[in-house]
Structure 1
């Protein structure tokens, strides 16, 4: 009995090789795999960037917000075009403030919560779900396919699904921008570092609350928790790899 070989099936292609880019960075350049990298945009909300928002009301300077918003928009567009996930963190509380009872430190330390308690006219209006203050600024409105992770603490990892979102996509490198550099951005970067992610802070797309704090955060990230790069350097690296 003669045996015949089966007809060859359709040829299968090898999976494409991972794409890598090398970012100019401090304290040294960092090479990352594009497919393992995500952009994390921290709290780019009216509360932190707009006149009449919570940060402005409690006395912090928001005059530097426009160029930070513009650079973040350019970065987000470049990352979407390169196929990187774009993840928004959005900070705030429910109208009944169930996330911030008096037994929690945030009840005592949140400037927004303290301001609302001291100024009845603003009760329920600052970083409260469904309010203008809580909304992401229009110039950075999330696009189809972007991911929004709500949070009620400084760090994007505290009590959120962020780590699950990243792990399910096999993300290892986080490009981080947003506000405030010395509070929610730095807290998120610190927690990312402790969870074995590689954080890269994009300095021209961040803004601090308080004088001198941008430099302090950049020092901490460069020397202890990650790398510093810029939006222009990131865009150039992504374009070179396109």
Structure 2
């Protein structure tokens, strides 16, 4: 039931993205950026040296997310994080325990966001309870209060929590943008499946370069 050991694979490129059904166009004035579950516990599935290893999938995704964070903060785009808590009460963890076991422990080596993506002052970290970032959180309300109806989704794992978040965003009339090379997954096949499903059913896959260019154009200073 524990997380698998995840081998490295190349992240998708612009030429490999599926064509989205949705006509949504990203806007710096409407978007919020989500960094989904980039905690040490989840990143460790890629290996103990994954954040420094040459050719590492998670390190490449983290670099792309870090660049988006820098640009988003300059542009005044709200930044949200999700992070699970360790030592979860079994009834509170719910059915996730049946699939994934007890989960992380309440120690910094599990709970902390990886250093390269550490939250800054003004960013908002939400406690994660279920696959979707919207479940048992006030993410939707916080976005609405800031006049945001688009969500740029980055993080792990693409076919689980990131995909569930994109699906729920769509059902809440929030346009999802799925950053193909700012996500990581159990395998390239599962990563591609998540991109294809989002493109067909809920939102727009795009590269970090495309997202960064749009956000940079909205930078007020």
Shorter-chain TM-score: which interval? 0.7 to 0.9
Contact 1:204 1:230 in 2 (8 A): yes
Query: Structure 2: how far apart are the matches of 1:144 and 1:35?
Result: 20
When structure 1 is superposed on structure 2, of 31-40 and 73-82 the one drifting more is: 31-40
Which residue of the other structure, out of 125, 135, 146, is the alignment partner of 1:169? 146
Q: What SS class does the counterpart of residue 223 from structure 1 fall into?
A: helix
Match of 1:205 among 168, 182, 192: 182
- TM (normalized to structure 1)? 0.73
Q: Secondary structure at the match of 1:154?
A: coil
Distance in structure 1 (CA, Å) of the matches to 2:196 and 2:97: 29
Name the SS of the counterpart of 1:239 in structure 2.
Answer: helix
Aligned match of 1:70: 63
Give SS of 2:29's match: helix
Aligned residue in 2 for 1:6? none
Equivalence for 1:142: 119
Matched residue, 1:118: none
Q: CA deviation at 1:240?
A: 3.4
**Residues 240 and 168 from structure 1, CA distance in 2 versus in 1: closer, same or farther, beyond 3 angstroms?**
closer
| 1:155 counterpart (107, 110, 132) | 132
Question: Is contact 2:90-2:97 (8 Å) kept?
Answer: no
Residues 75, 235 of structure 1: 8 Å contact kept = yes
Name the SS of the counterpart of 1:50 in structure 2.
helix
8 A contact 1:174–1:200 mirrored in 2: yes
TM norm structure 2:
0.80
Give the equivalent residue in structure 1 for 2:32.
Answer: 38
Q: What residue in structure 2 maps to residue 82 of structure 1?
A: 75
Counterpart-to-counterpart distance in 2, 1:182 and 1:52: 16
Aligned alpha-carbon RMSD (Å): 2.6
* 1:52-131 → structure 2 map (5 Å cutoff): 63-94=56-87, 96-97=89-90, 99-100=92-93, 104-109=94-99, 111-113=100-102, 126-131=103-108
Q: Distance in 1 between matches of 2:73 and 2:79?
A: 7
Check whether the contact 1:45–1:133 (CA below 8 A) recurs between aligned residues: yes
Higher relative contact order (CA 8 A, sep 6+): 2
For each residue in 1:157-190, what CA deviation from the matched residue of structure 2 results, as whole angstroms up to 9, or x when unmatched? 1111212211221210001100000001001111
Work out whether 1:222 is the aligned partner of 2:199. Answer: yes
Structure 2 stretches of 5 or more lacking a match? 1-16
* Residue of structure 2 in register with 1:50 after alignment: 44
Query: Is contact 1:25–1:229 with CA below 8 Å preserved after alignment?
Result: no
SS in 1 for 2:81: strand
